[in-house]
Structure 1
Amino acid sequence: MSTPFSSPFHHNELLRTKNYLAGSLFETSFNFKLSKGANVLTEIPEGPLKPDGPAAPDGMAVAVGMVAEANNRTDTLGNWTRYSEQTYNKTICDAKFNFLIMSPDNDPTFASAFPTAIAALKKLQNSVAKTKNHLYLVVKENGHDAIRFSFKVFERKTSSSAPTIDIDSYPVPTECRESLEKIAGNYVVRDFVVWDVDGKCIPPQDISSKLPGALVECYFGITHHSFGGDDTFGGIIQQVIILRAAAPKPPSPIKPSALRPYRATILSPEQVHAQEQRTVSFFTTPVSSAGPSNRKPFLHYKLPQLLKFTPATVPITKRKASAEPEGSNPKRVNTSENTDGSNDKGKERKKADKDGN
């Protein structure tokens, strides 16, 4: 049974090495040396070098961080796609692995040490840079400092190189095999070495799924070139050790098996009839006022049906029975008035009053 990983214990071990960027020994142990037109990180020897002795070895820095989800190009062909040759005038032999590490917010020990590592890299860049534009090593990701690594997938074959690429064993997409065959006689696949938490080497086809979100210990060299107004730095990865695997992603609250296309509810004939009756009742029932509380949405699609209902019969006021048929309008003679508009009864009453006087 493996011992559980302890960040404080492992951090203290790294502090006792001269390669750890966040340690106090790194600054006095490495510098840059010009080699083949580029400045290369080199280990400072403990004593003076002998003229006929071996040269100082290339330096290897160590940084610990969490692999970012973004810009993770660590599948078997790295950043190369089948469109690169046409779009960017690149061939498959130019493919590179790229990934970033950032401060591991879920690990307080290495999160507190990460800014120290960034500061050490920036100081190292300033010691050799000719401009203020420092590219490709210390970068920004979502406003936070990150360290960018790269690694060439293929290298030109030499007499000491491994055998020709085995097309059948190296896993690549089917559409890329033709491009791979074109360089198979002159190039070999470089080993991108990534170790899991149990110390086992991860197969190339599984690396891209294991790295994002994992706490990793990265061993890398540094190169420097100066072009015009820019200083470019490369973090050349040598190996990656996964200290703590990425936390499993929480499952989606909606299970794929539960997903169904939405369908409107189909009503039965009885439900349709009941809905129509409620609609008719709404339009025929008088409202108490025209206030907002009495307003309802107008169902325009029910209008043709609403126009078919029979209005209520208006009650007729009582009137004297007559021989005329209902609906006729005969002229009636007013017996109380003469043709000249006077009233006979009124004249008789005036005459009687006169005789009495």
Structure 2
Amino acid sequence: MKLTAFKSATIGAMTIMAGPCVAQEAMIEVNYGYLPVPTMPLFAAEAHGLFDDFGVDVNLIKFTSGPAQFQSLQAGSIDLAQGALAAFYMASTRGLEAKWVYNIGDASAISGLVLSEGNSLESYADLAGQSITAPPGSILHLFHVSQAMDAEVDFDQVDFVPLPPPQAVSAIQNGNVDAAWLWEPLLSIAEANGAVQVRNASEIGLHDVFGLATGADWVESEEGRDAVARVSRALTAGIEAYEQDPGPTLSKIEEMTGIKPELAQSIIARTNWATVTDQVAESNVFSLTGPEGSGAIIDWVDDRALAAGLINSSGAGADFLDPRSATMAAQ
């Protein structure tokens, strides 16, 4: 994981700001839905007490799937839900009343296409007549759609087998499918059992931006926006805490996800992490306001998802993004 001097200065400023926050403002309670993946800023903030430092009482609630998070967010049983921008945006076209408020990172470098042992791939068009799996409706599903469109392969020429990630690993290992789009740590598990990675999402220009969504009503309240700003500052400060001492974060990751420190470190090093200032930058994949940021990703999602029938109509587009809390946090 590499940080620019500008990012380092931003993180340092967040750390300095933490001290007086609790003394001046009352704590805000937040129910935060997370997935069991090594989200370094989250677990660093938890391990180092940074949420408390920034005046937010975070209750971490574990989920193992996006749809379960969508339901809890809609019901108001969680305030923040962590996951992929693409997945939450597509859910919003189906009625999920949510806003996207913070980008945590880009996991494209730990997302890839693997083939079953003995298979080869010169072009994505070679998958015609073969089978491929990915979690249905996920960013990995969209990666498949995008690659097929770019190679001018009709969707019905490839047998798409929708499987949740653990079952996808088993399917590729057992030769039940010819190819699979996977995330880490499942990517490494598949490779260790004979699968061969032939595409890396980052290397072919794709983005797997993940972050935080909140209920549309909650973020309209002053307390909701303030809570998101505080969480955002704590996540940014967590990056520096990890850089200075990764041990507590790695221990927290193992405790809450089961992922061992060596693999967690590898995933963290290959993930591009975002700070609060990235959210309001003009030329940045993480920008909630700039033309090259999250709005451009949403346009990409709309195009692919509509073409593949994953959504029936376009959603709110850039209006799905709510930069107000990030703007507060960056000041």
TM-score clears 0.5: no
Higher relative contact order (CA 8 A, sep 6+): 2
TM-score, structure 1 length as denominator? 0.25
TM-score, structure 2 length as denominator? 0.26
Larger radius of gyration: 1
Q: Which has the higher helix share?
A: 2
